[in-house]
Chains A and B, each alone.
Chain A
Amino acid sequence: MKVLVTVKRVVDYNVRIQVKPDGSGVMLDGVKMSMNPFDEIALEEAIRLKEAGKATQIVAVSIGPQAVQEQLRSALALGADRAIHIPLDAAPQPVNAARALAGLAGRENPDLILMGKQAIDDDCNQTPQMLAALLGWPQATFASKIELNDKAATVAREVDAGLEFLSVDLPAVISADLRLNVPRYPKLPDIMKARRLPIETVTPEDLGVEFVPEAKLLKVAPPPKRQAGRKVASVDELVAALRERGLLS
């Protein structure tokens, strides 16, 4: 079974995001970039499927500028068998990412596409769903447990009310939630080996992808500054303060 895992390069989750003074975006100069944490989880799941003898080949794919190859190398170090770079000047919005991935799926014919439930930069939570729609495949999002047999996957989904269990026929798109697993650390010798492995480049033209116009970014603004808080000495004082503001009746 072949598993395709999507890997997005995003600002590391430890970095406090700062907005450019002109509001045209966020500061990226000198900022640490990483693999989207949910993609790490998706990749970890693929590696575990392979270790369990269920998957045979893991293909990692990333769309964006040359720099995304850094994250593809991390994927190779962690255990992906192949890495594919789809070059674009900038990471596309979900609709076009889904289109490029659908093109690649047509060529690679994976049995399963594992993705993060969302990328922590734009927090769109759209690409997996759009990809499933474009391919006409079943989807299971927010997965916190995946059980696989040859023809189908049983997925526990995290929903507001608790867990929802779905069975989806393969091929399918599954997106990973935080609790699916705890990813492993890359090993130093594997990082070294991964540096010598090839990264395949497949252009959108190779795949015959037709991009559609993307939403125009008008402005990025930081959230309003939080007002300083106040310390209360007792529960009574806290209750009184909440009442004062009409937050408690």
Chain B
Amino acid sequence: MNRESLEFDVVIVGAGPAGLSAACRLMQLANEAGKSLRVCVVEKGAEIGAHIISGAVFEPTALNELFPNWKEQGAPVTVPVENDELHYLLSERRSIKAPGFLIPKPMRNEGNYVISLGRLCRWLAERAEALGAEIFTGFAAADVLYDDAGAVAGVVTGDMGVARDGSKKPNYQPGVELLAPYTIFAEGCRGHLGKRLMERFKLRQEADPQHYGIGIKEIWRIDPSHHRLGHVIHTLGWPLDNETEGGGFVYHDEGGLVSLGLIVALNYRNPYLNPFNEMQRWKHHPVVRRFLEGGTRIGYGARAVNKGGWQSVPRLSFPGGVMAGCEAGFLNPVKIKGNHTAMKTGMLAAEAVFEALQKGGVPDLDGRYRQSWVDKELFRGRNFGPALAKFGTLIGSTFIWIDQNIFRGKLPFTLHNRVPDHATLDRAANSREIDYSKPDGVLSFDRLSSVYLSNTNHEEDQPCHLVLTDPSIPIAQNLPLYDEPAQRYCPAAVYEIVEAPGQGARFQINAQNCVHCKVCDIKDPAQNITWVPPEGGGGPNYVNM
């Protein structure tokens, strides 16, 4: 095929905190050295922030390094955390508030800020453009390009105007090759190109499998009398049982808004578990609902987070490129914070690539990471995830408290969790069905009315972007064994088992609802679903998520 191609010095895939920090840092280095540098960032969302979703309580460490004068430059980081609470939810109604000293140290939030990551990304994008980077939104990097020696040579953007059956529509437009000596992959958690790179360059050989959670978030405009700017609450326990790991958050942001959500670890065992419904019922707990009564829900979104931590970090560098941010899995699972580590590893990636542009060869990001505070921070919290997976939430949290507050993460052993999340489901026959009560339409809602608030849209006439390796597996295998869990783990109700009288069950994929969370790609027990990017610009249009 005859494609147009454009040449740059560096191509960056993904305009999240990692990709944008990499772009800013590269241009800073070039400007300091008096060199001209052509840096291109591609982002599949229709605009910066459209696909960005985070809590977020933000640790400004990396921002301090990237733009020491960010306050004067007007970064949208303005709401200091004022009040930081951790509640153990014991049941539907009961809870205890953990006294300050019982909160594991890394989970405390002095010096942090409540932010909208979408807003921060828009600001970072403005900075990157002002420094000279080129950002293109509405273009997904669809595949990796390799040179004759097998090194990464860039990416190709997705074709536009392809019909469902694969034929070209009148407005068909082939993707463009973006070529560069070095490419920085920053697609966030479970990037689809990152997945291919890890396989091709065997980057995971010495790492534990990556572990994941699904984060489901809503934004509410609440009754002003309930709003306390900068107030931050985390919850553990109910509605999740002791063997299902996860927790909730409630962050009071500016503008009378509250960001709240539930993160559920994807190594859950019960195939009947429905993370969306858990989140809906969690809002009914008095600790949460007291803020929401009289309020209006204005935003909804979901995204996978990685939580394997230190043991799961893969090799980061390979010929022609590096991986940064959640693409590589730098979220700190103790804090459930990945923005500062995404930014920092983006900056380190920029430094490694900038050096390689002068010297040639494979950029040294692994060495830079091992020398950085990101490695130290993740190392300290390394036993968190495996402890919860091994001991359950109650004993696990006790272990973590001792590990973090007494030994400061220096216990002389490292726990491992080597079972990938797609392999943890029990058979449906051995599992308890969970009775989720109907949403009340006031505090709790169904999935479709939720997806509506994510402003999600995809061109309807295009190939399905959720690809089944073997189309028979959902009905022939997943349904009898696990009651096809995709019906429940997808936060956008994309997957349905439809039974037409006399025709038996059929697996239906409502791809246009997809919010690009990547959970199906992770949790399908047969690893039969592959998420590939739909036509550029499709997906959610999150507003300040």
Interchain CB contact under 8 A, B49 and A191: no
Interchain CB contact under 8 A, B452 and A16: yes
Residues of A within 8 A of B6 (CB): 188-189, 192
Q: Report if B319 contacts A (CB, 8 A).
A: no
B44 to chain A, nearest CB (A): 13
Tell me the residues in window 55-88 of chain A with beta carbons closer than 8 Å to chain B beta carbons. Answer: none
- A185 with B544, Cβ < 8 A, contacts A32-B47, A32-B50, A192-B6 known: no
In the bound assembly, the distance between CA atoms of A16 and B542 in angstroms comes to 11
Q: Report if B118 contacts A (CB, 8 A).
A: yes
Interchain CB contact under 8 A, A16 and B455: yes
Q: Report if B173 contacts A (CB, 8 A).
A: yes
Residues of B within 8 A of A21 (CB): 221, 256
Interchain CB contact under 8 A, A188 and B119: no
Interchain CB contact under 8 A, B139 and A30: no
Query: What residue in chain B is nearest A228 (Cβ atoms)?
Result: B441
Residues of A within 8 A of B256 (CB): 21
In the bound assembly, the distance between CA atoms of A189 and B4 in angstroms comes to 8
B13 to chain A, nearest CB (A): 14
Tell me the residues in window 159-189 of chain A with beta carbons closer than 8 Å to chain B beta carbons. Answer: 182-185, 187-189
Q: Report if A29 contacts B (CB, 8 A).
A: yes
Interchain CB contact under 8 A, B544 and A188: no
In the bound assembly, the distance between CA atoms of A195 and B455 in angstroms comes to 28
What mask results when residues 46 to 69 of chain B are scored 1 for a CB within 8 Å of chain A, else 0? 110110000000000000000000
- A191 with B136, Cβ < 8 A, contacts A30-B49, A30-B544 known: yes
Report, as a range, how many residues of chain A touch the other chain. Answer: 20 to 34
A-B residue pair count with CB separations less than 8 angstroms? 62
Residues of A within 8 A of B176 (CB): 187-189
Q: Report if A109 contacts B (CB, 8 A).
A: no
Interchain CB contact under 8 A, B543 and A15: yes
In the bound assembly, the distance between CA atoms of A192 and B169 in angstroms comes to 24
Residues of B within 8 A of A32 (CB): 46-47, 50, 455, 541, 543
Q: Report if A31 contacts B (CB, 8 A).
A: yes
Residues of B within 8 A of A182 (CB): 169-171
Tell me the residues in window 213-233 of chain B with beta carbons closer than 8 Å to chain A beta carbons. Answer: 221
Residues of A within 8 A of B136 (CB): 188, 191-192
Q: Report if A18 contacts B (CB, 8 A).
A: yes
Interface majority SS (helix, strand, loop, mixed), chain A? loop
In the bound assembly, the distance between CA atoms of A195 and B137 in angstroms comes to 14
Query: What residue in chain B is nearest A16 (Cβ atoms)?
Result: B455
In the bound assembly, the distance between CA atoms of A188 and B136 in angstroms comes to 7
B499 to chain A, nearest CB (A): 16
Interchain CB contact under 8 A, A185 and B46: no
In the bound assembly, the distance between CA atoms of A27 and B544 in angstroms comes to 12
In the bound assembly, the distance between CA atoms of A69 and B95 in angstroms comes to 53
In the bound assembly, the distance between CA atoms of A135 and B541 in angstroms comes to 40
Interchain CB contact under 8 A, A187 and B173: yes
A192 to chain B, nearest CB (A): 6
In the bound assembly, the distance between CA atoms of A27 and B453 in angstroms comes to 14
Q: Report if B134 contacts A (CB, 8 A).
A: yes
Q: Report if A14 contacts B (CB, 8 A).
A: yes
A229 to chain B, nearest CB (A): 12
What mask results when residues 175 to 192 of chain B are scored 1 for a CB within 8 Å of chain A, else 0? 010100000000000000
Q: Which residues of B contact A (CB under 8 A)?
A: 4, 6, 46-47, 49-50, 116, 118-119, 122, 134, 136, 139, 157, 160-161, 169-171, 173, 176, 178, 221, 255-256, 298, 441, 452-453, 455-457, 541, 543-544
Q: Which residues of A contact B (CB under 8 A)?
A: 12, 14-16, 18, 21, 27, 29-32, 182-185, 187-189, 191-192, 195, 228
Given contacts A31-B543, A32-B543, A188-B6, 15 further A-B contacts (CB under 8 A): A12-B46, A14-B457, A14-B541, A15-B543, A21-B256, A29-B543, A29-B544, A32-B47, A182-B171, A184-B171, A185-B160, A185-B161, A185-B173, A187-B4, A189-B4
Q: List 8 A-B contacts (CB under 8 A).
A: A15-B455, A15-B541, A32-B50, A184-B173, A188-B157, A189-B6, A191-B136, A195-B134
